[in-house]
Amino acid sequence: MTDHRPGTPSKHRTVGADGRVWPFGESIDPLNAPVLDRYRYIDNIPLRGFTINGRPALTQIDPAAVGDFVVLVVRDPLCDYTSDPAEQFAEHLDDVVLAGKSGMFTTFSGTYKGATVSVVSGGSGSPEAELALVDLFEYTDAHTFLRVGGSGGMHPSVNPGDLVIASGVVRDEGMTASYVPPSYPAAAAPELVLALTEAAIESGHAFHVGTIRSADSDYVQGGRPSVAGYFQPWHLDVAESWIRAGVLNGDRESAAVVTLARLFGKRGGSICSVADNLSTGAEFTSGAGHLNAMAVALEGIAKLAQMDRERDAAGYPMWVPSLRTA
């Protein structure tokens, strides 16, 4: 083990072409370097994560094959997918290639109405989403990340089969708190919300735009008793409190996608289908709305890609509605 302390040369230090010393390499944000310089174990860590045969270890993606827009889906039996959801998405893409496959994740890439799209399938929850996102942030030029999947309805206005587009996410899971305090906003990228909303309107499917909630526990944290009816007094008001706050539905991954995308300068968003409703008692329907969510997600991405072209042509920092009439 290297006993690295401030002032001790690190094996990660490099010298750029201009002669400047870059602590920890060009891939490190200079704002982070002073903190890393104080970390005694820094020389024992692969700064961009583990690799296998030159590829990111956890996703095994070919970075050159990953598109500008990344869809993250979960192998969720409640969505009643007929195949791996990444494969099911890929059926709607052109020029499809297998961009990566590991024991945890499968990634397909292709195009949809001119947009380059990759779809990554994996397991459930924020911790697993983090693993895929870090590989994608570190090794690819993808700029937009969209969670697409199933959810449980909470607010009485939401019905099974409806779609919910997140304008913001309650960070009630634990992974994102490891990165930033709970007061940091999980706000979806406004352009992505607009594009998805327009696509949903055109689709004719019932949909909502608003606040959703991500939690780690699908049971007690979601207002559902666990084994042998296990419930505690502090669980009694969990669901009702969030319903009164206007939260529409709950999932496990949206907070990870939206928070980390915002934290690292990307665009993040979420669109979920709803399978049941806790407050109204509407019964669970396997796969309700998930095909509609997939279709609206792809149409939204195509619209966002066009918005990006209009933004770039105008030289604006983000798309604004006046560009459509310009």
- What is the per-residue pLDDT across 2-35, written as a single tens digit (0 to 9) for each? 444 444 555 665 544 455 555 556 677 878 888 8
Region of residue 269 (left: phi > 0; alpha: psi -120 to 50; beta: else): beta
- pLDDT interval class at 48 (50, 70, 90): confident
Element at 244 (helix H, strand E) = helix 238-244
Residue 131, amino acid: L
| % of the chain exceeding 70 in pLDDT | 92
- Report the 10 Å Cβ neighbour count for 231: 15
Task: Report d(CA 62, CA 138) in Å as an integer.
Answer: 12
Give pairs for 199-202: CB < 8 Å, separation 24+.
199/296, 199/297, 199/299, 199/300, 199/303, 200/163, 200/165, 200/271, 200/296, 200/300, 202/299
- Average pLDDT of span 290-295: 96
- Kindly report, residue by residue over 233-287, the tens digit of the pLDDT: 999 999 999 999 999 999 999 999 999 999 999 999 999 999 999 999 999 999 9
- Kindly report, residue by residue over 228-242, the tens digit of the pLDDT: 999 999 999 999 999
Across 228-290, the runs of DSSP E, i.e. the strands, are 249-251, 267-277
For the record, the structure tokens of 97 come out as 């290639």
Task: Report d(CA 102, CA 238) in Å as an integer.
Answer: 37
- Average pLDDT of span 67-72: 98
For the record, the structure tokens of 210 come out as 């608003």
pTM of the model: 0.93
Sign of CA dihedral 298, 302, 304, 308: positive
Residue ranges and CATH numbers for the domains of the chain are: 51-325 (3.40.50.1580)
- Average pLDDT of span 85-107: 97
Q: Does residue 1 have a pLDDT over 70?
A: no
Residue 35 is predicted with a pLDDT of 83
Q: Using alpha carbons, list the distances in angstroms from residue 193 to 129, 190, 198, 203, 297.
A: 20, 5, 9, 15, 11
- Average pLDDT of span 289-315: 97
Residue 263 is predicted with a pLDDT of 97
Task: Report d(CA 177, CA 171) in Å as an integer.
Answer: 8
Residue 5 is predicted with a pLDDT of 44
Residue 187 is predicted with a pLDDT of 98
Name 230's bridge partners. none
Q: Does residue 195 have a pLDDT over 60?
A: yes
- pLDDT interval class at 190 (50, 70, 90): very high
Residue 34 is predicted with a pLDDT of 80
- Average pLDDT of span 205-217: 97
- Average pLDDT of span 137-155: 97
Task: Report d(CA 247, CA 305) in Å as an integer.
Answer: 29
